[in-house]
Structure 1
Amino acid sequence: MAEYADAVPSLKIGFIYNHEVPHQVAHTAPILKELLLRYPELDIDVLASTEEQTQLVKSGLGPELVKKTGFIDLEVGKADRGVLKAANAVAPARRIAILKNNLDIFRKYDVFVVPESTSLILKSQFGLDHLKFILTHHGAGDRSVTEKESIRDFDFVLVPGEKLKKRHLERGLIRKGNYAVCGYPKFDFVPHTPANMNFFENDNPIVIYNPHFDPHLSSWYEMGTDVLEAFLNAPDINLIFAPHIMLFQRKLHTSVEHKRVKYRKSLPKRFHEAPNIHIDLGSTKSVDMTYTRSADIYLGDVSSQVYEFLERRRPTVFLNSHEADWAGNPFYMSWTTGPVLNGVENLIETIREAEATHDKYLPAQNFAFEETFEFFDGKASAVAADSIAEFLKYQSCAEVELEAAE
């Protein structure tokens, strides 16, 4: 591809981090790091809407690469903050306002790398037609949300493995030449996270309970308090309660897809005081694999973090709180990797038996993990960076040819 090399630097590239919480950072920051290392001629900035996201990106890059990277703060106008605080309790109002209020900044760029689809409104609603968008995804779960129609609107898509590649192709969301299978860059962002960190003053088994926030699919609304109560009454088992980081960001959760709205209750004080329960409602440890690498058993519903847990094969248990007819349904493939419970009556008994019954589920765990993630001789983030570079070279070459034709 040497014939395109001189054209690449002419494109101005932005990595956008536009969220209230930092859970998407680890999905793109490793790719940013590899692009900076492997293609130092590229003109790349980081555009972030919170200081927490900025600092997490910087921690992944290291001081030398931070010096070589531009950092842009994306802010909401002061007059809008009060209104947005209320609106953001039920919808992503702040994210949309960030995009609208920073158009002068965004129009200076040619390409954006994003882990979400909201940024596409820069083209569809705000008139920045010249922009090219690269999607990295921010997870590799099974839910139907992985087949969003908006994926079709991206110019280039990074796919973690065979599972989503098949689904995207079957739905016509990606096409030959506009995607690359790159594995899971998040595994590269947090290789330093030690397993079995000392969250408890004993050697008892550790369970992570990781409910999703979706008001239809999550086990929290119907079963969550009963789950914590069960562990409160089983002091010989340690519990890390680390829900999806969005669950406790809002009181009211809506699902357009499933047409459901549910109110999230506050967490009773007694659970915070239990010596065998460690609660984290949204620190970086809840999104950087600290807990999924520290636990012995996974307990959840539909969160894609189960696949991060299965990086090392260990027992999993699932809660079916919405009466899903899940067997044979690809949207519940992770539920083949462990027992599925329709209530909490036998939860502790199932947890106690999880290690002994694990071998029964090991073939399904191997299959689900290998379908979800592609692995290469090198790092996934390096494969993703090279794939993006090829896309940029093609785009730059096409622009040169278009200018010559004009």
Structure 2
Amino acid sequence: MDIAFLAIAEAQQLYHWLPAALELARRPDLRVSVLSPSDAILDLVAGYDPDGLLLRKRLKRPPFSPPDSLFRQPSRLATLLLNYRAIARFPAIVTTEISTAWLRRVPGFASRLILIKHGAGDREGGYKSRHADFDLTLVAGKKDRRRMIERGLCAPDSVAVGGYAKFELMAQRQRFFPDDAPVLLYNPHFDAELSSWVRHGPEVLAALESLEGWNVIVAPHTKLAARVPPIATAAPHIRVDMGSRHSIDMSYTVSADAYLGDVSSQVYEFLLRPRPCIFLNLDRRDAGGEAFAHWRLGQVIEDMSDLPAALARASDVQPAYEAAQLAAMRDSIDQSPIPASRRQADIIETFAKARS
């Protein structure tokens, strides 16, 4: 059986599907291809596949595409239409982005579409009408399965909990500064309505530059990094990363001592090991809904002048949040002793063979 993994998104999504693709490729009677218009993405895949288990296929790049890179990909819709024949010949197509659902609009399209939903966050933007166009959806935990069903985006038998396979490719803890000061990770999201950076960037940066006793990693979501001017600072205790392997392979979330953010699902990657979290509500939003459920996992501040005090008491108040952090992780990301890659592969293989 032929199964295709469609890699038309930016590199940060690769870590959510690659472990399952590699697991499937090890199994008899399965041939797994990775389809991408990006040599950079295919080279990154090859770096995790030294035995060449995956068949890497370069799709045609639409005209006027940006230069090939890990973080800027051609128009997804244009890529789908230009490569329709090459994509549609696969009976089962796995992806982590919902643009692929547009293939449903092409007359005669008969492939089964399987979505591995990337991330495990709470933001309402993670639930779109196109999610309903997939034949099978894999989510990280019970929370996402429950919400997908409640919103009518999946029937109970078309959404399954498969865990968070990205944890299997995460980087090791690293030292990014020459001294032993604790490290704060600032991770603003790209959503212009919710991001702490879009409206408050200068204020946030000034507060981080004046911070004493801490090193700071500023690593915005790669989509935000592609949309805003480069963040620049001469402060020696600040490391800015506008898009690198470190920014997507969990190098920073495993290496930081405290987390500063807004609505990014990376907070759940950080909480793989419970640690202090601080959330920025600089627009003073009503955060009572489930879209801000993670704000109950740490301190929430409404003014950047409150950051030094929040950091000073972070260790002391962390025990009060730890039970909630552990409970939120259990709900958001199912951490079975069976690797997520194997669980996802089992679900995909069973589904694909049942409909072949």
Larger Rg, first or second structure (1 or 2)? 1
Q: Counterpart of 1:194?
A: 172
Following the alignment from structure 2 to structure 1, what is the Cα–Cα distance between the partners of residues 136 and 250?
A: 27
The within-5 A match list for 1:132-211 is: 132-190=112-170, 193-195=171-173, 197-211=174-188
Following the alignment from structure 1 to structure 2, what is the Cα–Cα distance between the partners of residues 179 and 391?
A: 11
1:36 to 17, 25, 31: 25
Following the alignment from structure 2 to structure 1, what is the Cα–Cα distance between the partners of residues 107 and 304?
A: 51
Q: Which amino acid aligns with 1:50?
A: S
The within-5 A match list for 1:27-106 is: 27-37=16-26, 39-60=27-48, 62-64=49-51, 66=52, 68-77=53-62, 80-81=63-64, 84-85=65-66, 94-106=75-87
Following the alignment from structure 1 to structure 2, what is the Cα–Cα distance between the partners of residues 103 and 266?
A: 36
Q: Counterpart of 2:101?
A: 120
Secondary structure in 2 aligned to 1:375?
coil
Q: Counterpart of 2:285?
A: 324
Q: Which runs of 5+ in 2 are unaligned?
A: none
Q: Counterpart of 1:242?
A: 219
The within-5 A match list for 1:225-264 is: 225-250=202-227, 264=228
Q: Check whether the contact 1:231–1:348 (CA below 8 A) recurs between aligned residues.
A: no
Q: Which runs of 5+ in 1 are unaligned?
A: 1-8, 251-263, 397-406
Secondary structure in 2 aligned to 1:317?
strand
Provide Cα deviations, 1:107-146, integer angstroms capped at 9, x if missing partner.
321111000100111222x335211100001101001123
Within the alignment, does 1:130 sit opposite 2:110 as a pair?
A: yes
Following the alignment from structure 1 to structure 2, what is the Cα–Cα distance between the partners of residues 52 and 313?
A: 34
Aligned length: 352
Q: Counterpart of 2:293?
A: 333
What displacement does 1:346 show?
Answer: 0.8
Following the alignment from structure 1 to structure 2, what is the Cα–Cα distance between the partners of residues 353 and 325?
A: 24
Following the alignment from structure 1 to structure 2, what is the Cα–Cα distance between the partners of residues 153 and 321?
A: 36
Following the alignment from structure 1 to structure 2, what is the Cα–Cα distance between the partners of residues 85 and 159?
A: 31
Following the alignment from structure 1 to structure 2, what is the Cα–Cα distance between the partners of residues 333 and 247?
A: 22
Q: Check whether the contact 1:146–1:164 (CA below 8 A) recurs between aligned residues.
A: no
Following the alignment from structure 2 to structure 1, what is the Cα–Cα distance between the partners of residues 59 and 314?
A: 46
What displacement does 1:299 show?
Answer: 0.2
What displacement does 1:322 show?
Answer: 3.2
What displacement does 1:291 show?
Answer: 0.3
Q: Which amino acid aligns with 2:46?
A: K
Secondary structure in 2 aligned to 1:75?
coil
TM-score, structure 1 normalization: 0.83
Following the alignment from structure 2 to structure 1, what is the Cα–Cα distance between the partners of residues 231 and 163?
A: 36
Q: Counterpart of 1:267?
A: 231
What displacement does 1:75 show?
Answer: 2.6
Secondary structure in 2 aligned to 1:23?
helix
Q: Check whether the contact 2:231–2:240 (CA below 8 A) recurs between aligned residues.
A: no
Following the alignment from structure 1 to structure 2, what is the Cα–Cα distance between the partners of residues 144 and 218?
A: 13
Identity %: 36
Following the alignment from structure 2 to structure 1, what is the Cα–Cα distance between the partners of residues 77 and 262?
A: 29
Following the alignment from structure 2 to structure 1, what is the Cα–Cα distance between the partners of residues 76 and 56?
A: 18
The 3 A distance-change label for structure 1 pair 128 and 267 is farther
Q: Check whether the contact 1:218–1:321 (CA below 8 A) recurs between aligned residues.
A: no
TM-score, structure 2 normalization: 0.94
What displacement does 1:298 show?
Answer: 0.3
What displacement does 1:223 show?
Answer: 2.2
Following the alignment from structure 2 to structure 1, what is the Cα–Cα distance between the partners of residues 355 and 46?
A: 28
Within the alignment, does 1:370 sit opposite 2:330 as a pair?
A: yes
